[in-house]
Amino acid sequence: MKAVVMAGGFGTRIQPLTNSKPKPMLPIMNKPMMEHTMMMLKEIGITEFIVLLYFKPEIIKDYFKDGSDFGIKITYVLPDDDYGTAGAVKLAQEHIGDENFIVISGDLVTDFDFKNLFAFHKEKNSKLSIGLTSVDNPLQFGVVIVNEEGVIEKFLEKPSWGEVFSDTINTGIYVIEPEILEYIPKNENFDFGKDLFPLLMQQKVDLMGCNLSGYWRDVGNPESYREVYEDILAHHVDFLLDGHKQLFPDGVLYSEKPYSLDPSIEITGTVVLGKKVTLNNGVKLYNSVISDNVVIDADSKIRNSVIWENVFIGKKTKLDNAVICNNNTIGKNVSVKAGLILAEGCEIGELSSFERDITVWPDKKIEAASIVSHNIVLGSRYKNSIFENGSVIGTSNVELSCEMATKLAEAFASQLPVGSTVLVGRDDDKNSRMLKRAFLGGLLSAGVHVHDLKSIPQPLLRYTLANSSKYVGGAQFKRCINDPRNSEITLFDEHAVRINTSAAKVIEKAFFIEKFRRVEHASIGEIFESNYCEECLDYKNSIEKCLDQVGIRQSNLRIAVDLMHGNSAKVFPTILNELGIENIVLNSYYDEQKLSNFVVMKKRSTENISKIVQSLGHDMGVLIAPNAQIITLVTDLGEVLNKIKSLHCVLYLLSITTKPDEKKKVFLPTWAPDVLEFDNLIIERGKYTDFTVEQLKRYDFIATVDGNYTFSEFNYTRDALYSTLKILELLTVSGLKLSEVAKEIDYFYYKTTKVECPQSLKAKMMRKFLESAKGKKSSHLDGVKIWENETDWILMIPNQYGEYLNLYIQAKDDVAGENLFKQYKEKMAQWIAQ
């Protein structure tokens, strides 16, 4: 049998540790983790290895060479492009031969007994057997359900938290018969989990799943890298420590050759030293692994830390739970609280101190006596994807710096054709202007032109982008209204839809490995600036074409609008006036100070507009959020409608103004209430993420429960400006006042809340909810939804990015709703505590 070792990954999530090393070469106990895996296979008789390379291949080849120094034979396969996991194995077909083979990742740590997997494969007469295990957080893996015979019944690659149906996952360890390679196309991007496994299941080829007992960890991010060391040093892994063993009163020291240490040096717990390590008097080491050519000066204390090669640490320095990469110099009297990641080539001045969980990216110089309280260069984004639903959010000029904005633009533009054009806009905030200007430079350097609309409402930018063939994408910059310290960059595709998860991952990969296209001087992009008069005119004309202008003018509508200091003031009052709508517009100017405390401003604005509508006898009031995507409705009697009641008022108006034989299609998220029915609407509920424009075209109306409305007759994107006008038109057609519509909406209980939950317990909570659903009507389209009866349900969706669970509860009345909430809150507390 031969072994195929997957060693071509980019190591995106584990940056900056992989800045100069491919992930399989990251040291575990002073040896590349790939070496440990290969030596385990060698022990059970596998001596022929095919290593699939891609990212930084020369480092792996220079270390292992032909394998003879390790008692094995290595054949290297280097694809000319990224062909995916299965596609890369296909390229090795000529070297594999006619026998079954094992495929294993080079970036994992395990003590599995592989012989059990081989025996299972043989016993089941399997064509493809997958090693399985259980984990706390299955999001980065393929989730699996097997039957009693070991046949895989359900498989989902890299689910969101709302899709998790099991904590049993695919370990990426396969035993495969050679005929399976015939299902893999050559020179195409083809993945085991996303492509091959679904194809085989469709072709009725049984995939077999073998549950393997023991330790397994995919070293996917800096936390898991640290945790592997903790587990090894705590003896949670059956891991052989090589070399000479020296016993000390409170610990044990492992090294290739014995060290003669000064009596003042303390060794506590398990310590591993590489070659040519110098420990000066008074050094104290506790549960730490130190590589070659490291000097630790007198009276320094190192706890629970990993130090790579060629590092100098000055006197009286204290490190706790740190990862210090290669070629670093740390001055004397430096203090590091738990969690430092120090990438290679840095120089830390004396007397510097680091707060908890700091990441310093490569080649940084930190001046003496610095207090480092935030990550340097990229913030904390190494923990997850830098994108959240198509946006990058971070502290302005700290996490989301000009450097990061430029690199993000280069990564984005590198996926677009040279000579293409991107549409760009922003709000009025000075941070948005700064980041946009840095972003433009990155686009230009990759040969992409820019049409800069400057300060423009987001709906207008997205309308322009969606209705012109000139643009291949767009970007909007804005200040976060809920946290004024943060800025947000949102990227759109050519249809003005937020970039989907797949596109975000491609951009993110280019961002982290800095795989940017730099064009020659003659091809550098150009900036075409606009005062957006033409765009505003097109937008206004299209709105007027979609609405019943005659009906609106004849109805003599009167409306109060609070623009909440957003830049929609540049276009919306003009549209209202041209449609003959009598209006009072409030807060139609930019005010940085008021936007800095949005909660207080919103409360005051809500109170004011309610009084104005009542006292002046207006037909409706509306608050339009600064991003011009969210609206809050106020009835003619001054009642401020909550977002749920607003949604149902709009649905009611849509239904009564629609002919029974021309029913409208509506899309709502899974968490939207369903207690009320609307005769002339066909309502579909589903996952509210990664839409394509083709999907959006199927619906007449799309909404959330947060005041976001999309009327597809005008555009397929959220637009508070058009939505406000459309609601006025619906009121005109119906002949009703908004207060009369609101009275038609029967009261019911609806609650949304968050429950804190560590990442490590999210899969368990999904499983517990699924178990609770047995015997009841349930759904796991997005999270787990459990019906108690026809009207009352609870939906739990783990948050994709934060350490909490989203709970949504619907019931016929407050008593039933609070009882249901209390019941599951107690259950969840018990499950988390178990």
Q: What is the mean pLDDT of residues 253-260?
A: 94
135 — pLDDT class (breaks 50, 70, 90):
confident
Neighbours of 117 (CB within 10 A): 23
Per DSSP, helices labelled H in 271-427 are 402-413
Least confident window among 140-149, 246-255, 346-355: 140-149
pLDDT of residue 240: 85
232 — pLDDT class (breaks 50, 70, 90):
very high
Task: Decide if pLDDT at 638 tops 70.
Answer: yes
Q: What is the mean pLDDT of residues 505-532?
A: 89
Exposed, middle or buried: residue 468 (CB in 10 Å: 0-12, 13-18, 19+)?
middle
As a whole number of Å, the CA-based R_g of the chain is 30
Q: Return all residues near 551 (Cβ < 8 A) that are at least 6 apart.
A: 729, 732, 733
Exposed, middle or buried: residue 495 (CB in 10 Å: 0-12, 13-18, 19+)?
buried
Q: Burial code of 785-821, b = ≥16 C-beta within 10 A, e = fewer?
A: bbbbeebbbbbbbbbbeeeebbbbbbbbeeebbeebb
Is residue 494 a contact partner of residue 471, using CB atoms and an 8 Å limit? yes
Q: Note the pLDDT tens digit of each residue in 642-657.
A: 999 999 999 999 999 9
Is residue 461 a contact partner of residue 473, using CB atoms and an 8 Å limit? no
**689 CB-side CA count, 13 A:** 18
Q: Return all residues near 585 (Cβ < 8 A) that are at least 6 apart.
A: 561, 562, 563, 569, 572, 573, 576
Q: Which of 293, 299, 139 is nearest to 224 (CA)?
A: 139
For the whole prediction, is pTM greater than 0.75?
A: no
CA dist 512 and 17 (Å) reads 11
Is residue 196 a contact partner of residue 86, using CB atoms and an 8 Å limit? yes
Task: Decide if pLDDT at 181 tops 90.
Answer: yes
Neighbours of 430 (CB within 10 A): 10
The kind and range of the H/E element at 478 are strand 473-479
Q: What is the mean pLDDT of residues 339-354?
A: 92
pLDDT of residue 382: 30
Query: Pairing mode, if any, of strands 2-6 and 101-105?
Result: parallel
Task: Decide if pLDDT at 151 tops 60.
Answer: yes
Q: Note the pLDDT tens digit of each residue in 451-493.
A: 999 999 999 999 999 999 999 999 999 999 888 888 999 999 9
In the chain, what are the domains? Answer: 2-218 (3.90.550.10), 241-372 (2.160.10.10), 384-531 (3.40.120.10), 537-743 (3.40.120.10), 749-833 (3.30.310.50)
Question: What amino acid is encoded at 132 in this protein?
Answer: L
Q: Return all residues near 689 (Cβ < 8 A) that are at least 6 apart.
A: 160, 389, 501
Task: Decide if pLDDT at 547 tops 80.
Answer: yes
CA dist 539 and 542 (Å) reads 5
Q: Which of 382, 378, 311 is nearest to 347 (CA)?
A: 311
Task: Decide if pLDDT at 164 tops 70.
Answer: no
CA dist 74 and 223 (Å) reads 31
Residues in the chain: 834
Is residue 704 a contact partner of residue 720, using CB atoms and an 8 Å limit? no
Q: Which of 578, 573, 545, 579 is nearest to 560 (CA)?
A: 573
pLDDT of residue 683: 96
The two tokens of residue 278 are 């110098």
Task: Decide if pLDDT at 819 tops 50.
Answer: yes
DSSP-derived secondary structure for 768-796: HHHHHTTTS-EE-SSSEEEESSSS-EEEE
The kind and range of the H/E element at 725 are helix 720-734
Q: Return all residues near 384 (Cβ < 8 A) that are at least 6 apart.
A: 13, 801
Task: Decide if pLDDT at 378 tops 60.
Answer: no
Q: Tokens 């507009």 map to which residue?
A: 609
List the end-to-end C-alpha distance of the chain, in Å, as a whole number. Answer: 43
Q: Which of 264, 215, 213 is nearest to 235 (CA)?
A: 215
Q: Which of 343, 345, 376 is nearest to 363 (CA)?
A: 345
The kind and range of the H/E element at 430 are helix 430-445
The two tokens of residue 380 are 């904390």
Task: Decide if pLDDT at 206 tops 80.
Answer: yes
Neighbours of 533 (CB within 10 A): 8
DSSP-derived secondary structure for 220-282: -SHHHHHHHHHHHHTT-S--PPPSEEEEETEEEEEESS-----TT-EEEEEEEE-TT-EE-TT
Exposed, middle or buried: residue 251 (CB in 10 Å: 0-12, 13-18, 19+)?
middle
Q: Which of 163, 150, 152 is nearest to 197 (CA)?
A: 152
CA dist 87 and 4 (Å) reads 13
DSSP reduced 3-state for 209? strand
State the virtual CA torsion across 59, 60, 61, 62 in degrees, nearest 10.
50
CA dist 640 and 560 (Å) reads 13
What CA–CA distances, in Å, run from 356 to 321, 370, 374, 420, 547? 10, 15, 9, 44, 56
Task: Decide if pLDDT at 106 tops 90.
Answer: yes
Q: Burial code of 324-345, b = ≥16 C-beta within 10 A, e = fewer?
A: bbbbbbbbbbbbbbbbbbbbbb
Task: Decide if pLDDT at 598 tops 90.
Answer: no
DSSP reduced 3-state for 122? helix
DSSP reduced 3-state for 144? strand
379 — pLDDT class (breaks 50, 70, 90):
very low
DSSP reduced 3-state for 521? helix
pLDDT of residue 373: 75
CA dist 95 and 348 (Å) reads 48
CA dist 330 and 286 (Å) reads 19
CA dist 777 and 790 (Å) reads 9
pLDDT of residue 692: 87
CA dist 340 and 650 (Å) reads 51
CA dist 207 and 124 (Å) reads 10
The two tokens of residue 659 are 């002919």
Exposed, middle or buried: residue 492 (CB in 10 Å: 0-12, 13-18, 19+)?
buried
Least confident window among 48-57, 106-115, 358-367, 727-736: 358-367
HEC sequence for 597-648: CHHHHHHHHHHHHHHHHHHHCCCEEEEECCCCCEEEEECCCCCECCHHHHHH
Question: What amino acid is encoded at 295 in this protein?
Answer: V
323 strand-pairing partners: 306, 341
Q: Tokens 């909406």 map to which residue?
A: 745
Q: Return all residues near 242 (Cβ < 8 A) that are at least 6 apart.
A: 254, 256
Q: Note the pLDDT tens digit of each residue in 411-430.
A: 999 999 999 999 999 999 99
384 — pLDDT class (breaks 50, 70, 90):
very low
Question: What amino acid is encoded at 547 in this protein?
Answer: L
DSSP-derived secondary structure for 442-470: HHHHTT-EEEEEEE--HHHHHHHHHT-TT
pLDDT of residue 377: 59
CA dist 609 and 620 (Å) reads 10
